[in-house]
Amino acid sequence: MYLGIDLGTSAVKACVMDASGAVVASASAGLTVQHPFDGASEQDCADWWAATCAAIGGIAPELRGQVRALGLSGQMHGAVVLDADHRPIRPVILWNDARAEAECAAMLDAEPEAGRIGGVPPMPGFTAPKILWLSRHEPAAHARIAHVLLPKDYIGLRLHGTLVTDPTDASGSAWYDSGARCWSAALCKASATDPAWLPEVRHGSEIGGLLRAAVAKELGLPASIPVAVGAGDAAAGAVGIGAVADGDGFLSLGTSGQLFVTTGAHRPNLERRIHAYAHTVPGQWFQMAAMLNGARPLAWLAGLLNRPIVELLAEAQSAAPGPLFLPYLTGERTPHGDSDIRAGFALLGETTTHGSLMRAVVEAVAFSFADAMAALEATGTRPEALLAIGGGTRSDLVVQTIADVIGCRIGRSEAADVGPALGAARLACLAEGGVDPAQVMTKPEVRHWFTPSPGAAEALAPRLAAYRALYPALAGVQAMLRAGVRA
């Protein structure tokens, strides 16, 4: 058996894969996010570890006893700052935190080639600008830094004691030269970062370390089994779905959203905020459109209305087109690179229902993928078909609407909601050795293809155009409020 652990934003997921590649068990444990001020998003390392232990504990003891190797996946970009004794100095600043806007500009001023080197211009969610922010706003904490890790790598440290990361998480830090595959001294200098703080970079299927005996006993796992370095959640999802060759693509719909295509070369597109990163597998890169909000607006609306999301989606299915929604609850990356923009409904009326609100949110999720596809197409990338992963893809309505809007077939497998955890388990299998990567990183059997409905894109085109007009309009209103302008 091979155990994959995915440290998400809302939960830690664990899955067990057998030697044939089948998922035989899974479990999860929830996480919460703290927002100490507007635009801030933080979590505690102690909560991550407790949830990891709980998720692994949810796997039957007889399966845990057969585990031969572990692999890791996790949310990207988080700033885990540790002292010389490997103790967290402060809560982790997460991928959807917006506080470091000014620091991104400062990095570009200090190193105008930062976007070309890193594969995308610095953005507030990335790790490097957060360290620069700490140097300016929490100098006492910054002075104590001895190590900086990415989220999954902190779990790895607890498991095996080694400071190590993989090329995808390194790429997402804004310190890594993604084309040359090495840490960039220039990007470190521009972000008040000592290169000695950064971990060793190994491919995702390499061994990060062996499971410590005390930890193995605590978790009910065999001692001294290998722990694969793993990958950031996007690349782990690619491994889990077999998107490891040039042209392979998928869309991921969890708390955030990604449109991901593997490439055989490093191909940045700085203007459209396409992330061009090193893949976790040797010799490959990828292009990724990254949307900060993903399926989160669906859960947000359900929570706001205090109604089950499944009921609201059923009502949305039959609701007539009505309101429009801009889904930027926590800003947006692709294509706007705007951490300040916020969400909003438009065109509400007396006949607006819960179902029509949810329909607007579903359309907005699909429209954000239309923007993502347009950004990819601007680089010459146009996938023929996409596979789907993430909890948000369980909804037929959501996936069909995305297929209609982007004009691309989307395939969903039975393990679509496992995603990165399965990729982590596959990397664990490779870390144990003795297997052909091509036999492990296979594509799943597609259970349902969502084919664009004839005429659907044309029917939705006016609403897509109106959706795109909402962004500059709402951004202008927000600018007026910030400036205190009176009409």
End-to-end CA gap in the chain: 65
- The phi-psi region of residue 485 (left if phi > 0; otherwise alpha if psi is between -120 and 50; otherwise beta) is beta
Peptide bond into 462 cis (omega under 30): no
| Angle at the Cα of 85 from the Cα atoms of 45 and 147, rounded to 5 degrees | 70
User: What is the Cα 387 distance to its own chain's centre?
Assistant: 16
Contact 428, 21 (CB under 8 A): no
Q: How far apart are CA 204 and CA 171, in angstroms?
A: 13
Q: How far apart are CA 120 and CA 271, in angstroms?
A: 9
The number of beta carbons lying within 10 Å of the beta carbon of residue 411 is 22
| Nearest residue to 257 via CA among 290, 227, 283, 287 | 290
Contact 124, 98 (CB under 8 A): yes
Helix, strand or coil for residue 92? strand
- The phi-psi region of residue 22 (left if phi > 0; otherwise alpha if psi is between -120 and 50; otherwise beta) is beta
The strand pairing partners of 73, in sequence order, are: 6, 231
What would the DSSP string read from start to end of 158-205? HHH---EE-HHHHHTTT-EETTTTEE-HHHHHHTT--GGGSPEE--TT
Q: How far apart are CA 78 and CA 47, in angstroms?
A: 14
Contact 390, 240 (CB under 8 A): no
Q: Which amino acids are annotated catalytic?
A: 233
Helix, strand or coil for residue 140? helix
Angle 396-406/354-377 helices, nearest 10 degrees?
Answer: 40
Measured CA to CA in angstroms, residue 263 lies from 33, 162, 273, 346 at distances of: 34, 30, 17, 38
Q: How far apart are CA 321 and CA 455, in angstroms?
A: 16
Q: How far apart are CA 278 and CA 284, in angstroms?
A: 7
Q: How far apart are CA 88 and CA 80, in angstroms?
A: 7
Q: How far apart are CA 272 and CA 120, in angstroms?
A: 9
